[in-house]
Structure 1
Amino acid sequence: MNVMNYLNERFPTLKLVPSIYYQWDIGIHLSLAREIYQFTENDELNLKLFRLVYKQISTIFDELFEQNDDLFLVTNVYKHKIKDKRTRKLKVYQRFLKSKIHLNRIQVKVFPYPFESDEAEEYEMQQFSLLCRREDLRINELLKAASNEDFPLKPKFGGYSIDYPDVFFVNITKDIIFFVYDDRGCEVIALEANRIRSLYEKYYDWVEEVDRERIERGLG
């Protein structure tokens, strides 16, 4: 099985790009470290915020993924077709896989650049995917790297200068997709509402009021 076959079967209208919450009826958008600013009064990074973000996304992940769940670790890399001819190291799989034995099973597919831009035709998206299990991954470090997108913190994913890589966790055992877009929040979608209803109820306070009506309509 590859990730495209899986998505076509289970999430046929979905494009695995940011804002999956807005593409699918059954989903939750959670805000992270609400009411805490990224910088202190001295214009230094507020590490208290990032520690809370790391804790929250780890908590959410633990609610959605068990050790033996099968999943696709999917990474979207955005690059200029000509200027970025030289391949840069993608610091996702080598760094965050517990065993290098999985590296030869990574699949890659090239797509058009998915975001609106006057120069969109000059760019492309490379989508890497690996079928593995949660226990194969250094999950906490992966989640930290996803939330560190806009700040000089480690770990980082690397990639090209045009855009930071996007990483999706696709749980094919439970038909759930989890995406941390940066330190501000994350998105969860599911094939069946009962898979994520308890997550919404348990972490209701992490949901912005403006999102609640839409979420509750999808969860039934």
Structure 2
Amino acid sequence: MSADKREPVLVIGLGRFGSAVAGSLERMGHEVLGVDCDPALVQENAGALTQVLEADATDMATLEKLGAATFRSAVVGIGTDIEASVLTVLALSDLGVQSIWAKATNDKHGRILERTGAHHVVFPEQRMGERVAHLLNERLKDFIAFGDEFAIARLAAPATIVGLPLVTSECRSRFGVTVVGVKRAGEDFLHATPDTLILPDDELVVSGRIADIEGFARCGG
């Protein structure tokens, strides 16, 4: 496979989650085969993906005809119909697909998917709910959690460190966060160094425990 051509991906279920994943994969250079049993969703995605087919992906014979076994990676974006989601993952697993990503609506659904062959289970609604909750803190501009405790966030520079170089503000020892970089209006992203001076309108990219980041965002504000 050439350097500019990425491996094809099978995406089953073309609702909001599945179509978003499929569209992003196409933009990244992957060929995408999209599959859904809803003719309206098939029609809606027909012009955006490499190929889109109307089919019942819970049926092993159907997946075999679609060539599912030739794909190394597959995404199952079926959410509301838990039975269809589980049967599809099981069929893909039986066909030997090496990397199966599946959307789950809750923890119980996720555990069933893992036991039936999903290698990666994602909880988009839950994760988005958590992200929105964190962003309700008006000083946080963006937020990505990794696991239950660690995160990277973009936030307005707290007043308590404005006017100081990072070496003086001692963010890691005082607040438990690491300042990764600084973004200033009209300037490129600046990787932080001990000598980086924090200005009043700076936005910071920081990493650390979620509780520490939230506490840092509030300090001196």
Query: For this structure pair, what is the TM-score category when the shorter chain's length is used for normalisation?
Result: under 0.3
Q: TM-score, normalised by structure 2?
A: 0.26
Higher RCO (CA 8 Å, separation ≥ 6 residues): 1
Which structure has the larger Rg over C-alpha atoms?
Answer: 2
